[in-house]
Amino acid sequence: MVEYQKKDRYSIYDLLEIVKLLRGEGGCPWDREQTHESIRNDFLEETYEVIEAIDCKSPEMLREELGDVLLQVVFHTRIEEENSAFNFDDVCDEVCKKLIIRHPHVFGDVKADDTEQVLENWHKIKMETKGQETYTDTLTSVAKPLPALMRAQKIGKRAMRAGMDFSSAEDAVACIENEKAELDKAIVNGDKQNIEEEIGDLLFSCVNAARHLGVDAEMALKSSTEKFIKRFAITEKLTRAENLDMKSMTIEELDIYWEKAKNIISMEEN
């Protein structure tokens, strides 16, 4: 057992000390074994749980999940401190300096009258501080582990700043039809590799269209997925009420119940 004085209320400094003790001699065997790689997915999971708390509009849930994300930050920082690479103060120092540098209209004498000007300055400063010399550099810097739709939309937005973009939402939507035609051709040819490529192009064109129409592609797909689950649940409930097994029914038979489910949801919403 390690020595630590319990308190009624703890601070960030207590969290730093607790993680240090957990990783130290006499601490927790599990915590001591962890590496950046072993807890990588934990960081992702905790981040998504913060997003869920935001979606649920729950301050209590948000407070807890933000704490879990903060723990991840402290834990990863502690690993590097043990390697004499950097510590928590260094992390705080760097982000503070970044905020000051990227807000010259607040901490300097640069004038920015609206959000558009603020963002323009932000992107310009970001390129300079990160050593990004070309527009391509700004695209390749978008994190690869991001969800595919989110990453595609972000890359499309950055390409737009270089002038590489559709001139209108109509043109972006029309591209969907073109990509669909190319997918149809690949399917006829039976070329699996080409089919995968064309499906990717079709998805990318949908993301571009969403961006031009002011829609978040990631959120749109999330909403559609939840809608599908809700309709599926009602469809299953309707079939079960008639002692029917969905798996043994034809798609045409299921479509009848699917339409009933849509009507039920529509009436509930109205």
SS3 per residue for the chain: CCCCCCCCCCCHHHHHHHHHHHHCCCCCHHHHHCCCCCCHHHHHHHHHHHHHHHHCCCHHHHHHHHHHHHHHHHHHHHHHHHCCCCCHHHHHHHHHHHHHHHCHHHHCCCCCCCHHHHHHHHHHHHHHHCCCCCHHHHHHCCCCCCCHHHHHHHHHHHHHHCCCCCCCHHHHHHHHHHHHHHHHHHHHHCCHHHHHHHHHHHHHHHHHHHHHCCCCHHHHHHHHHHHHHHHHHHHHHHHHHCCCCHHHCCHHHHHHHHHHHHHHHHHHHC
The pLDDT score that the predictor gives to residue 113 is 85
Domain of 41? Answer: 12-86
Residue 122 pLDDT greater than 90, yes or no: no
Q: What percent of the chain has pLDDT over 90?
A: 86
Residue for token digits 């065997």?
29
The pLDDT score that the predictor gives to residue 112 is 86
pLDDT digits (tens, 9 = 90+) for 22-53: 999 999 999 999 999 999 999 999 999 999 99
Residue 128 inside a domain? The answer is: no
Residue 109 inside a domain? The answer is: no
Residues 264, 227 share a domain:
yes
pLDDT digits (tens, 9 = 90+) for 69-100: 999 999 999 999 999 999 999 999 999 999 99
Residue 261 inside a domain? The answer is: yes
Q: What pLDDT band is residue 61 in, cutting at 50, 70 and 90?
A: very high
Polymer length in residues for the chain: 270
The pLDDT score that the predictor gives to residue 5 is 85
User: What's the structural domain count of the chain?
Assistant: 3
Residues 82, 16 share a domain:
yes
Tell me the C-alpha distance between 230 and 8, whole Å. Answer: 44
Last residue of a domain, one of 86, 115, 139: 86
Residue 262 inside a domain? The answer is: yes
Residues 242, 230 share a domain:
yes
pLDDT digits (tens, 9 = 90+) for 129-149: 888 889 999 999 999 989 999
- Token pair, residue 206, equals 């949908």
Residue 130 inside a domain? The answer is: no
- CA–CA–CA angle 152, 70, 39 (5° rounding): 70
Q: What is the CATH number of the domain that holds 35?
A: 1.10.287.1080
Query: What is the pLDDT averaged over residues 98-118?
Result: 91
Residues 252, 192 share a domain:
no
The pLDDT score that the predictor gives to residue 92 is 97
Residues 205, 259 share a domain:
no
Last residue of a domain, one of 68, 86, 104: 86
The pLDDT score that the predictor gives to residue 120 is 86
Residues 228, 208 share a domain:
no
For residues 198 and 183, the answer to whether their CB atoms sit within 8 Å is yes
Residues 54, 40 share a domain:
yes
- Token pair, residue 60, equals 């209590």
pLDDT digits (tens, 9 = 90+) for 182-208: 999 999 999 999 999 999 999 999 999
The pLDDT score that the predictor gives to residue 2 is 76
Query: What is the pLDDT averaged over residues 104-119?
Result: 89
Tell me the C-alpha distance between 41 and 239, whole Å. Answer: 39
- Please state, rounded to an integer, the average pLDDT across all residues of the chain: 94
Residue 129 inside a domain? The answer is: no
Tell me the C-alpha distance between 35 and 32, whole Å. Answer: 9
Q: How far is Cα of residue 221 from the mean position of the Cα atoms in its chain?
A: 12
Residues 263, 207 share a domain:
no
Residue 229 inside a domain? The answer is: yes
The pLDDT score that the predictor gives to residue 150 is 93
Last residue of a domain, one of 61, 86, 111: 86
Residue 74 inside a domain? The answer is: yes
Residues 246, 233 share a domain:
yes
